[in-house]
Structure 1
Amino acid sequence: MPRDPIVFLPDVMCDARLFAPQMFALAPEHVVITAPLTRGERIEEVASSLLDHLPSHFALCGQGLGGIVALDLIKRAPDRVSRVAFVATDALPDTPQDAAAREDWIVGARSGRLGDVMASAVPQGAIAPGPQAGDVRALVDDMADFLGTDVFVRQMRMLQRRRDMQAAMRRCKAPAWMIAGSEDPLVPVKRMEFLAEFTPFSELKVIDGAGHFPSLETPDALTQVLSEWLRAPLVLS
């Protein structure tokens, strides 16, 4: 049977390099696509725009902001999404404290302190300790610097304005895998367990030794999980 293209949706202030190891490993057998999440200030606006450019049928893998956009894509076009993998994704809306913190970050970024803001938004503790930690941190910072302040502000607005996506997850009919890093303090395993509990046809996969960026910290382990996900049987309607 033909294999669906895999659409990768990166996290806040990340580009295609976030999933580069997985795209490289899967490309011999799959069409791989990275969709930018840099236009618009609402999740709904971004998802609607992407649907105009994505294939007629595809698999989705999103991290963080990318996972939230994936949920909206499923809500809008359930018949086009064959399966979905959520990496470090939180379906709950911002708390007032979260929204206020993002407002402070926006002010800081606009005043020329994007690097300092990213150090606060993604603290070093979000990356699991190990020989790769320094390289991962450097890449995360370089992606943010490349995308720049305007993208940061738009993405913060997306997150501040996002809706509670629990209802959308409950209606998800595609095989949905929740993938968590065992050492991730930003989206802990318990949060991913919570999502898996009320999402039909879901499985929880925990990658040992990974923090918030398993695609970069433990690339082979995430590639293996995604390979298993791609082989999982589809749900028959």
Structure 2
Amino acid sequence: MSGPIVFVPGLLCTETLFAPQIAAFSDRPIMVADHRNHDSVDEIAHSLLETAPARFDLVGLSMGGYIAMAVKRIAPERVSKLALLDTNSRADTADQTERREFMIELTRKKGFEKVPHLLFPGFVHADREEDEDLKSIVVDMARETGAEAFIRQQTALIGRIDSRPHLQEISCPTLVVVGDGDRLTPIEFAKEIHDLIPGSKLEILSGSGHLPTLETPGQATETLRAFLNDT
């Protein structure tokens, strides 16, 4: 058995996002970060560090990747290995911020019920847009997260920094993963992160979109297992 793993979910996601991987690493201490209570990526990172083990392997997907990069910037000595899945090291663009503000306003004025359904197609590979079982999982995670937490998360994403200047400082073993059909954070963003982190490894998962841990769980789990269990 190796050391603890801290998983950090994406926007509107819960520990269910990593359910297959949590089961696969059942021989190791597991913590799933709570990213619902703050409206700043750095505040979420500090909260994670307050409750995390002294040293741990860190796995973040999408928004979880933004938080993981902040953790690594704030307390680099705490992270033994880093896995960044389907994420982006850049700050929000003006267009992205505009879309987030629209979703916040929609939630406040019209309610939250339609939001997960509107977001789902972008979360998954184009071939899975009609996958009702997967959609049900994603919608249930969003409902568990709730409207107020969604607004805080979107606010945090709007205010996040450009992490690219800090990536070259990362010295721990790092894995960058992306689905080949990810439309939210496409392959070029993963390649950029990989190019900026010295010695990092890049894995492109076939047949997956933005949520490979659920879309292609076997492939995602084996990729993480090979990396995290490699001594």
The one-letter code of the counterpart of 2:201 is E
C-alpha distance after superposition, 1:103-157 (max 9, x if no partner): 1100111124323333333425733425993211111111111111100000000
1:18 and 2:2 equivalent? no
C-alpha distance after superposition, 1:26-83 (max 9, x if no partner): 11x2111111101111111111111111000000000011111111111111111000
Paired position in structure 1 for 2:59? 61
Give the alignment's Cα RMSD to 1 decimal.
Answer: 1.7
Paired position in structure 1 for 2:30? 32
Secondary structure in 2 aligned to 1:111?
Answer: helix
Q: Report if the CA contact (8 A) 2:124-2:215 is conserved.
A: no
TM-score by length of 2: 0.95
Q: Report if the CA contact (8 A) 2:176-2:202 is conserved.
A: yes
The one-letter code of the counterpart of 1:6 is I
TM-score by length of 1: 0.92
Alignment of structure 1 residues 204-223 onto 2, 5 Å: 204-223=202-221
Question: How far apart are residue 191 of structure 1 and its match?
Answer: 1.3
Q: Which runs of 5 or more residues in structure 2 are unaligned?
A: none
The one-letter code of the counterpart of 2:19 is A
Distance 1:208 1:143 in 2: 24
Q: Report if the CA contact (8 A) 1:128-1:209 is conserved.
A: no
Alignment of structure 1 residues 70-149 onto 2, 5 Å: 70-123=68-121, 126-129=124-127, 133-149=131-147
Moved over 4 A (4+): none
Distance 1:64 1:49 in 2: 18
Q: Report if the CA contact (8 A) 1:5-1:57 is conserved.
A: yes
Q: How many residues align?
A: 231
Paired position in structure 1 for 2:228? 230
The one-letter code of the counterpart of 1:152 is F
Question: How far apart are residue 23 of structure 1 and its match?
Answer: 0.3
Question: How far apart are residue 231 of structure 1 and its match?
Answer: 2.8
Q: Report if the CA contact (8 A) 1:115-1:141 is conserved.
A: no
Q: Which runs of 5 or more residues in structure 1 are unaligned?
A: none
Question: How far apart are residue 208 of structure 1 and its match?
Answer: 0.6
The one-letter code of the counterpart of 1:8 is F
Distance 1:209 1:124 in 2: 14
